[in-house]
Amino acid sequence: MFTGIVQAIGAVERAEVQKLWLRVDPRSWPDPIQLGESIAVQGCCLTVTGLGEALSFDLSEETLHRTTLGVLSKDMLVNLERSIRAQDRLGGHFVLGHVDGVGRLLARQSRNEGEVFRFRGPIEGAKYLVSKGCVAIDGVSLTVVEPDGPDFDVWLVPHTLAHTTLGGLRVGDRVNVEFDVLAKYVENLGKGRF
């Protein structure tokens, strides 16, 4: 599990159909990455399958179908977060790294010192969007300002723009979207699925 607080930016070293290699500055984390460790890459939980000059990850067909990872190419930048430990602060919200689908940036507008981004998420997830609720975009925990069906606004502060890949997004770019898991659990409880 993750919190949606990006810890490092990595660069794609190489990408193949079902394999991804990332360059990451080892100083990004206080302790070394372990084989088998879970890392959120653009919000998608992946298992480290190889160590060395670059970290390697295997990509399943489901991952390629539901995320933007299949379109990554050399030198593209990605948000990275290691899974949380029991003693860590939960600075964002519960992010599982189980991406619900791909969304698109519709607009971005400067406001004071930050920016408001408008995204369109997968239509089936619109029911999980509530004002002041949580959503993860490319692994970044964000607060929904105002939902409008599958469209929703989020406010990005300068720190988020500077320390994640979101600051480099252009209108029309595709993003990974994970809706709030707590909203999904509440929905299932209401349907008597537990």
Q: How many residues does the chain have?
A: 194
Q: Are residues 143 and 184 in the same domain?
A: yes
Mean pLDDT of 33-49: 96
Q: Where are the beta strands (DSSP E) in the chain?
A: 8-16, 19-23, 38-41, 44-50, 55-58, 77-82, 101-111, 114-120, 134-137, 140-148, 151-156, 174-179
Decide the pairing of beta strands 19-23 and 55-58: antiparallel
Residue type, 47: T
Examine residue 2 and state whether it is found in any structural domain, yes or no.
Answer: no
| Domain boundary pick from 28, 53, 82 | 82
Nearest to 41 by CA among 157, 171, 178: 178
Examine residue 122 and state whether it is found in any structural domain, yes or no.
Answer: yes
Handedness of CA 23, 26, 28, 30 (dihedral sign): positive
- Read off the pLDDT of residues 141-181 as tens digits, 9 standing for 90 and up: 999 998 999 999 999 999 999 999 999 999 999 999 999 99
**pLDDT at position 193:** 61
Examine residue 28 and state whether it is found in any structural domain, yes or no.
Answer: yes
The CATH code of the domain that includes 128 is 2.40.30.20
Total domain count, the chain: 2
- Read off the pLDDT of residues 122-135 as tens digits, 9 standing for 90 and up: 999 999 999 999 99
Q: Are residues 68 and 19 in the same domain?
A: yes
